[in-house]
Structure 1
Amino acid sequence: MPNQDYPGVCMSCSTKACQVVAPDIEAVRERVKHDPITGYTKNVVNNLTTAMGDKFADEYEAYLAFDVVKAAIVMGLKNGQKIDLGGLGEFNVETVNGQKTVTFQPAPSLNAILKE
Structure 2
Amino acid sequence: MANQDYPGVCMACTTDECEVVAPDVAAVRERVLYEPITGYTKNIINNLTTAMPDIFKNVEDAYMAFDAVKAVIAMGLKNRDNVDLHGLGKFRVEKQDGKNVVTFEPDQALNAIVGE
- After TM superposition, is the score higher than 0.5? yes
Q: Please say if 1:45 is aligned against 2:45.
A: yes
Q: 1:36 to 1:106 in 2, by over 3 A?
A: same
Secondary structure (helix, strand or coil) at the match of 1:61 reads helix
Structure 2 stretches of 5 or more lacking a match? none
Deviates most, 20-29 or 99-108: 20-29
- Measure how far apart 1:74 and its partner are: 0.8
Q: Deviations over 1:26-48 (max 9, x none)?
A: 35544543543111100000000
Higher strand share: 2
CA–CA distance in 2 between the matches of 1:3 and 1:81? Answer: 17
Normalising by structure 2, report the TM-score.
Answer: 0.79
Q: TM-score, normalised by structure 1?
A: 0.79
Q: Does 1:22 align with 2:24?
A: no
Aligned AA for 2:101? T
Aligned residues between the structures: 112
Letter in 2 for 1:96: Q
- Identity among equivalent positions (%) equals 46
Equivalent pair of 1:11/1:72 in contact (CA under 8 Å): no
Q: Partners of 1:43 and 1:77 in 2: how far apart? A: 25
Judged with a 3 Å threshold, the aligned counterparts in structure 2 of structure 1 residues 28 and 71 are, in CA distance, closer, same or farther, namely: farther
Structure 1 range deviating more: 80-89 or 51-60: 51-60
Counterpart for residue 110 of structure 1: 110
